[in-house]
Amino acid sequence: MPTSKQLNVAVVGATGLVGSEMLKILAQRKFPVGTVRVFASERSVGKQVAFNGNTLKLERLDESSFKDVQVAMFAAGADISLMYGPIAAESGALVIDKSSAWRMKANVPLVVPEVNPNDIRDNEGIIASPNCTTIPLTMVLEPLRQKVGVERVIVSTYQAASGAGRPLSDELEDQMEAIVAKKKPEVNATTHQLAYNVIPGGWKPQQYGYNEEEMKLANETRKILHNPELKIAATCVRVPVQIGHSESVIIETMEAIEPEDVRALLERARGIVVEDDPVARIYPTPLHVAGRDEVFVGRIRKDMSSEKGVALWIVSDNLRKGAALNAVQIAEQAIEMGVIPK
């Protein structure tokens, strides 16, 4: 048994891009772990993953996998979360789910610790962590909402290959190598060749010409900000970047606000770094944000088409703040609030 301060943790999807980042972050942040159990697909059972200078053996998921586990982090896709999330919660673990399976369910809090930490208290055993583009967007919108109100948001994303997991991340590398070798790149992991290209799609089509990713970004933002009526429209685009999602955002506020005041507001916001001096060529790019924990904001300027509008540029590491880090921070916040151990 762990001591009162240590928690037994399960990581489901521990070989994946998000799961392996979770293991790194648990160690880096000295999360109070007792034991760590790691799970992946049949393909990986028996193999090992690294954790904090040691190795852990990958196990097969079954109904008894979560016995004596206090925190179960899921990063193995929605189907696995739907099937095993309730089993883990029934066993007494607090489930923190990185997939989209539970995000929009009424009895499941959808949490960004810097934005809506108190929603954690409403959990019934499962807490969802938002999409990798939603997390940074809400972190920027919340301080503006508090100060001047947010009327409408128009966002275009520039999403890295790793956002779609290892298959697309590996395929981008393979395509780059094929191009250099003057061979024809293979396309399997998404709809079009990503190397030397940008793809305004690849997600499941949904209503009104939008796709699943765009609707997630809109609906999850509304839920986290507790504003079901928020006017928001998104265009999601995949770009040939390995790590780091960027977002170009136009925000119409309820009261007018000057760009300098937006800059000052965001400089004070927890988890945000403002890098904004375009004349000196200072603005965030995915290449230098990869590996960082904060959400970076630059290009803060007036929306020249509106009386009450601001335009800005957001970049964050999709595997860290967009995924694994946010999940670990939810667990840390739950400990601080006394939600775990139960």
Ligand X SMILES: NC(=O)c1ccc[n+]([C@@H]2O[C@H](COP(=O)([O-])OP(=O)(O)OC[C@H]3O[C@@H](n4cnc5c(N)ncnc54)[C@H](OP(=O)(O)O)[C@@H]3O)[C@@H](O)[C@H]2O)c1
In the complex, least distance from residue 72 CB atom to ligand X, rounded to whole angstroms:
12
Asked if 16 touches ligand X (CB under 6 A), the answer is yes
Nearer to ligand X, 278 or 291 (CB): 291
Q: Give the C-alpha distances (Å, rounded to integers) separating 20 from 33, 74, 191, 320.
A: 16, 12, 26, 11
The 3-state secondary structure of 10-53 reads EEECCCCHHHHHHHHHHHHCCCCEEEEEEECCHHHCCCEEEECC
Under the binding rule (CB under 6 A), the answer on residue 315 touching ligand X is no
Which of 98, 145, 238, 321 is the binder for ligand X (CB under 6 A)? Answer: 98
Q: Does residue 157 touch ligand X according to CB under 6 A?
A: no
Gap between the Cα atoms of 213 and 201, Å rounded: 9
| Nearest to 138, CA basis, from 334, 314, 333 | 314
318 binds ligand X (CB under 6 A): yes
Least distance from ligand X to the Cβ atom of residue 47, Å: 8
d(CA 213, CA 219): 10
- Residue 15 interacts with ligand X (CB under 6 A): yes or no: yes
What is the rounded CA–CA span in Å between residue 138 and residue 117?
Answer: 13
Contact 238, 277 (CB under 8 A): no
Active site annotation includes 132: yes
Segment holding 179, helix H or strand E:
helix 166-180
Minimum CB distance to ligand X, residue 159 (Å): 8
Nearest approach, Cβ of 165 to ligand X (angstroms)? 3
* Nearest CB to ligand X, comparing residues 18 and 335: 18
Q: Which of 36, 80, 232, 272 binds ligand X (CB under 6 A)?
A: 80
From the list 99, 123, 211, 333, which residue makes contact with ligand X (rule: CB under 6 A)? 99
Q: Which stretch binds ligand X (CB under 6 A): 249-257, 277-285, 317-325, 330-338?
A: 317-325
Q: Phi and psi of 17, rounded to 5°?
A: -65, -45
Q: How far apart are CA 110 and CA 216, in angstroms?
A: 12
* Nearer Cβ to ligand X (40/69): 40
- Known catalytic membership, residue 192: no
Kindly report the number of other CB atoms within 10 A of residue 87's CB atom. 17
Report the catalytic residues.
Answer: 132, 245
**Which residues are at the interface with ligand X (CB under 6 A)?**
13-19, 39-41, 43-44, 61, 75-78, 80, 98-99, 132, 162-163, 165-166, 318-319, 322-323
